[in-house]
Amino acid sequence: MRSPLTPARLPLPDCARCGHVSRLVGQDKVAELLREYAAEWQRLLIDPELGERSVGVPAWSPLEHGCHVRDMCLLFHVRLDAMLGTASEQSSASSALNAPDAARRYRDEAPRQVAEELGRAAEALARRLAALTAEQWDRDDPRLADPRLTVDFFTRHLLHDIAHDLAEVLRGPERQQRTQNEQ
């Protein structure tokens, strides 16, 4: 529970690279936005032109980025459980994702299967986020020293990560190379 002596929110900065502006996303719109991002990811993953091109850092293919987004959605249940003091079906299913070589296997996964799994993971998380109360949004992580690191903060951070990965894939390697050269 957040102390009344601490600031209300720890703001996330706007991201010039992907265009995500977390302060514009109301808590009542988080689930809808997560579903929109997931739908776009699903469209990308089933696109026959997906290809093996590497984008972003650490130079993952679009498939590997999609796997990462799926796993972020699954693992977020574990964070929510820790912060809310609950246990969910999704968090037990997420424990297998902690294997150290999970990311190295991403390139071997089937894009259509990843698209389906990402859709299910995002929908389960969206339903859970849509059901949060105002008090739950303000809960901090008892394992961390900063009480401003709330469910709201981590959810906005998750949405930014998903948007950022999507922007990198949509931008593609050519535009990304130009962007890196301009920095």
Return the closest-CA partner of residue 155 out of 97, 80, 103, 95: 80
| Model confidence at 178: pLDDT above 70 | no
The residue with greater pLDDT, 171 or 129, is: 129
Q: What is the mean pLDDT of the chain?
A: 79
Categorize the per-residue pLDDT at 3 as very low, low, confident or very high, splitting at 50, 70 and 90.
very low
| Structural tokens at position 87 | 């246990």
Please tell me which of 45-49, 85-89, 117-121, 160-164 the model is most confident about, judged by mean pLDDT.
117-121
Sign, CA dihedral 160-165-171-173, equals positive
| Bridge partners, residue 150, by sequence | 140
Whether the per-residue pLDDT at 39 is higher than 90: the answer is: yes
User: What pLDDT shows up at residue 110?
Assistant: 92
Fold category of 26-47+55-176 in CATH: Four Helix Bundle (Hemerythrin (Met), subunit A) (1.20.120)
Is 99 a residue whose pLDDT tops 70? no
- Identity of the highest mean pLDDT range in 31-35, 52-56, 146-150, 173-177: 31-35
Q: Is it the case that residue 38 has pLDDT exceeding 90?
A: yes
Other Cβ atoms less than 10 A from the Cβ of 12: the count is 16
Give the residue, 22 or 180, on which the prediction is more confident: 22
d(CA 147, CA 11): 13
- Could you give the count of Cα atoms lying within 13 Å of 152 in the half-sphere of its Cβ? 24
